[in-house]
Chain A
């Protein structure tokens, strides 16, 4: 299995809702990432998990809460989002948890989130 999967593909939620995004990989990768991408912009890093521990939080608002239950799974819990949080949320994984000669990141298909 050489892919990163994400569910759901699309999500529409109100500002008072609580929802979760799910990401899964079975490549034995030890680092997993959440990115946010607005239309016509590059992806922006949100969180990095390295060996199932949160290693980077790019000053993301607390209404986004990441969770890494095991080495294959990564969740992003959403609560009280704002309309400006509408974006494509991408999950990625890479083989190594720390810097290495080549730590290529492989991206999932993304979840397109709309906040009403």
Chain B
């Protein structure tokens, strides 16, 4: 059974600081997704990572994938308050339709 773990579960950081969220998964996959969820809202797609070594950047967020280590990272550069949300990674590894297994989620709080 595929397991996806994220750490930390909760992250409080000051504006302007850098930090990294980690996503580990238990079985082989080369398709990993990052989503953002604001409180009471739906999930917004951030990044799609499809191969070993893939790196994607959007604004202050950068995601990478290491399929050999079964690890993805979401790096936050110079955090701003608007980045406060819960971030989920999700791994897709099935042969019929896409079945996403979500990580535990990381609740990010950026303080002034």
Contact = CB atoms under 8 A, between A and B. Distances in A.
Given A99-B97, A107-B42, 20 more contacts: A31-B97, A40-B107, A42-B102, A43-B88, A43-B100, A48-B97, A50-B96, A50-B97, A55-B97, A56-B96, A96-B98, A98-B96, A99-B95, A99-B96, A102-B48, A103-B98, A105-B45, A107-B35, A110-B42, A112-B40
A102 B43 contact: no
Contacts, number: 70
A42 B98 contact: no
Interface residues of A, number: 29
- A contact patch SS: loop
A105 B42 contact: no
Interface residues of B, number: 26
B100 A105 contact: yes
